[in-house]
Amino acid sequence: MIDYVELNTRLQQVGQEHLLKFWDELNENERHQLEQDISELDLNELKLYFDRATTSLSQNGLKLDDRLQPLPEDKLLSISRSPEELLAGYRDEGLKQISMGHVAVLLMAGGQGTRLGFAYPKGMYDVGLQSGKTLFRLQAERIIKLEELAFDATGKQGTITWYIMTSEHTIQPTLDYLEGNNYFGLKKENVVLFKQGSLPCFEYDGKIILDQKHRIARAPDGNGGIYRAMKSQGILDDLAKRGILYLHAHSVDNILIRVADPVFVGYCAQENAECAAKVVEKSSPTEAVGVVAIVDGKYQVVEYSEISSKTAEMRNADGRLTFSAGNICNHFFTTAFLHKIGSTYEQELKLHVAKKKIPFIDNSGKRITPENPNGIKIEKFVFDVFEFAQKFVAMEVPRDEEFSALKNADSAGKDCPSTARNDLYRLHKKFVEAAGGIVHGEECEISPFVSYAGENLAPLVQGKSFTTPLYLCSNRENSAHL
């Protein structure tokens, strides 16, 4: 039996007693559901969250120009401007760490494909490649290939554990999909799913919004929720148990992602970096992307809205933008650093506020879908731990080789299935031609089982001419593609 008086007293102490205003209209099951929703909240912490978040809201729009510095050259390795032998050394180091079982992948895959008109987790989306492979499948097969490359290089068989952070809504369909496809050849015990947390939605005065008479309105706590989720769901303990030292963390929607990239891992390991970011050079001063920079002596991602156009347009002597390090949600962490975040700094993470149109129950008990923003959602961002790193570095990678995001439906014309598909075809054609082949046409796809990042193609393509559609596959592919 639920003690209404005790529950109401707890809520009154933090000004949230309105959550019980429909109590008399609820049946026993609904009362239990509401009581459970409330019990999952740390009410005192939420009061602090709201106060901190709304303070940050009042600071939005402030320009940071006077406090801003670009990344120093000795902290930024540019792939395109580095000698091949240097990169080869980093790659060898990364493959060595993989062969020793020291490297894992941390995939942020909580998003649904809503903007793509797709009612499932975004990782299950097929952009229309000849192979029909989804984002999840491409990334799983790249992991398998990389384990093989590490074995070939060292003679030691290491495992890359695949940690996948889902949301409350995507965990079951993601699990069903992976199980239904036998984890695409990965061992089940090396694929670990966990859920990001959620936070209640608030009215502007700090009152928590009711989504139904017996349900609190909630929203995912952002990709920065990964740190709390890793601690609370035992992922940090699992990393320690498996002897994992390094994690490559990225979002699910980059079709060109080099999972557990050995060059990146090797560079960070040799630099003794606790935390790192891959970046791409901004295409123009006005490109709407955050930049990795230094603010008040600390590394952080600065949103484009926080820099004046004058600062955004600044250029170095060589003509390149001064603030050019575009953030692409592609990061490296040591396990030790993640433990430090979980135990100490997670509570200090910045809180970001978005004004949103949030459905709510009005005083008459009717559910209203507002036409204008009526409340706020609070999020944490994965990159807001940069400032806590003692040693931070960045790696600038070629956009056409490593970054093509899937955000929108084709009608948008950018960051959509067509651009993702064409970017992958263009890159794979470039790989074939670099290995001595000739490709007539554009549709060129290489299975991850054949090549992780363009390596070892010469025996297959050198001196040969191909007409598209071309699909280079291995005998491990589905028979439909042989």
- Average pLDDT estimate for 197-222: 93
Q: Which of 61-70, 143-152, 365-374 has the lowest mean pLDDT?
A: 61-70
Q: State the pLDDT confidence band at 347, using cuts at 50, 70 and 90.
A: confident
Domains, the chain, with CATH or none = 1-40 (no CATH), 44-407 (3.90.550.10), 421-481 (2.10.10)
Q: With 90 as the cut, is the pLDDT of residue 44 above it?
A: no
Mean pLDDT of all residues in 203-219: 94
- Determine what percent of the chain is predicted with pLDDT higher than 90: 83
Which has the closest alpha carbon to 206: 36, 51, 399?
51
pLDDT at 481: 35
Give me the pLDDT at residue 64, please. Answer: 85
What percent of the chain clears pLDDT 70, i.e. is strictly above it? 97
pLDDT of residue 480: 34
> Residues 63-94: pLDDT tens digits?
788 899 999 999 999 999 999 999 999 999 99
| Mean of pLDDT values over 41-57 | 82
CB 215 within 8 A of CB 33: yes
Q: Is 276 left (phi over 0), alpha (psi -120 to 50) or beta?
A: beta
Tell me what the mean pLDDT of segment 267-280 comes to: 98
Which pLDDT does position 57 carry in this prediction? Answer: 67
Task: Please give the pLDDT value at position 50.
Answer: 87
The predicted structure's pLDDT at residue 122? 96
pLDDT tens figures, 381-437: 999 999 999 999 999 999 999 999 999 999 999 999 999 999 999 999 999 999 999
Q: What pLDDT score does 479 carry?
A: 37
* pLDDT of residue 283 exceeding 50: yes
- For the residues 275-286, what does the mean pLDDT come to? 96
pLDDT above 60: residue 147: yes
Q: d(Cα 306, Cα 210) in Å, to the nearest integer?
A: 33
Residue 480 burial (C-beta neighbours within 10 Å; 0-12, 13-18, 19+): exposed
What is the pLDDT at residue 113? 87
**What pLDDT is attached to residue 482?**
28
Is the predicted pLDDT of residue 478 greater than 90, yes or no? no
Terminal-residue alpha carbon distance, the chain: 63
**Over residues 119-134, mean pLDDT:** 96
CA 461-463-465 angle, to 5 degrees, is: 75
Average of pLDDT values for 296-321? 92
Q: State which amino acid sits at residue 167.
A: S
Tell me what pLDDT residue 61 has.
58
Does a cis peptide bond (omega within 30 degrees of 0) precede residue 200? no
Cα of 124 vs its chain's centroid, Å: 15
